[in-house]
Amino acid sequence: MDRLLVLVRHGQSEWNLKNLFTGWHDVALTEQGVAEAHKAGKALKGLGYSFDIAYTSDLKRAQDTLSIILDELGQADLSVVKDQKLNERDYGDLTGLNKDDARARFGEEQVHVWRRSFDVPPPGGESLKDTAARVLPYYEDTIKPKVLGGERVLVAAHGNSLRALIMDLEGLSGEEIVQRELATGVPIIYRLNEDGSVAEKKDLAA
């Protein structure tokens, strides 16, 4: 039994390129982001992977990344579940601000706390802890049972929604996971044990 779970952060988006806080704002992929998604699909195909079901967020940058990957795999008709619970962290009042402008307005230290603490949300937004509080129950109830049942599952989502998942899978603390950088458009491949713990991990960025 495979018990295969592959996580992919969406390819570079227009607001990644402009260094803006994106959150739940629905932006498109850049040309580089599209190329990253094609590269991810080719890499997974080259390793011989195929999937039984895929999950993504309610945001088009993740959906488009997934669609490109599935095209590369020859699985454009795969069953795809879209859910807001896999959305990026909501940056609240920071959404749309350039990160340098935010530092000028609120101070370097305050912006660093909002970006890199586990449980301090920006005004009107979510902390990573808040993001995990919606992502992890969805994973436990919906995605994990599919993986443990032997289905090969692909998840295309966002830096922080995937950080929440990785924290749970790898048993990391909040302090550890906020330091983890996830490259855009790069698959992270897990094989799980019967109890849901990680048997094997392969990060294609490494």
The set of catalytic residues is: 10, 88
The C-alpha atoms of residue 126 and residue 131 are separated, in whole angstroms, by 6
Q: Give the max Cα distance, the chain.
A: 53
Q: How many CB atoms lie within 10 A of CB 35?
A: 15
Query: DSSP code of 196?
Result: S
Please tell me the total number of residues recorded for the chain in this structure: 206
Residue 160's nearest CA partner among 114, 205, 101 is 114
The DSSP output letter for 89 is P
Which residues have C-beta within 8 Å of that of residue 89, sequence separation ≥ 6? Answer: 23, 125, 126, 127, 128, 130, 131, 158, 159, 160, 161
What is the β-pairing status of strands 53-56 and 153-157?
parallel
